[in-house]
Chain A
């Protein structure tokens, strides 16, 4: 049973518009949620995180929203830029266990 799901394998948006990437989870033990960005031939790099006690965290163009009752989080990128084109992984962390579980990723393409 997949504990972290990203139901959209791909997303294409126009430069300047908003990108919204979604993620659902099932395990209530997760206490932090993170987004990672991955370019080809590179390892994933941390983008932004949110604690389970928060409902929003913003960092520049990137905002993560958490709906704990729905076990759903989303990453908003505004405005989207061509350099944002990458694979985005949602990860849920159980910090007590010291482990993270990843979704399958969403490939974002931002068209100029």
Chain B
């Protein structure tokens, strides 16, 4: 089983619908992230969380919200989906590691492909 699991893997929805993408991890990491990838572009940070009580906006948070239900679970919601939110969404985790060993390495899920019609 994957260490970082995203559901659903594929979703087609209509404009105006509410969508939730879920992420769960078994790595025991405190830090979790949601990224978005558009064709030909890199990954852009939507939201990130350093623990259950710490949620932070990334560079493209407008139109999205998140919930950190537990250390292992981090959900991304689109309250009212629009076509330009059609993209590939990745959840990732990272760990601080031991003293002086944190490099920012991210562990990614397999992605959730969202299409908004």
Contact = CB atoms under 8 A, between A and B. Distances in A.
Interface of A: 4, 6, 9, 32, 34, 36, 41-46, 49, 51, 89, 91, 93-95, 98-105
A96 B69 CA distance: 25
What's the interface size class on B, roughly? 20 to 34
A40 B29 CA distance: 26
Contacts of A98: 31, 48, 50, 94, 104
A104 B58 CA distance: 17
A32 B103 contact: yes
Contact of A102 (B44, B48, B102): B44
Contacts of A4: 42
Contacts of A99: 45, 48, 58, 104
B12 interface: no
Interface in B30-57: 31, 35, 40-45, 48, 50
Nearest to B31: A98
B62 interface: no
Contacts of B107: 46
A105 B31 CA distance: 24
B4 interface: yes
Contact of A100 (B40, B104, B110): B104
B42 A102 contact: yes
A89 B41 CA distance: 10
A72 B69 CA distance: 39
26 contacts: A4-B42, A32-B103, A34-B103, A34-B106, A36-B106, A41-B111, A42-B111, A43-B4, A43-B108, A43-B109, A44-B43, A44-B90, A44-B108, A46-B106, A89-B43, A91-B104, A91-B106, A93-B103, A93-B104, A94-B104, A95-B104, A98-B48, A98-B104, A99-B45, A99-B104, A100-B104
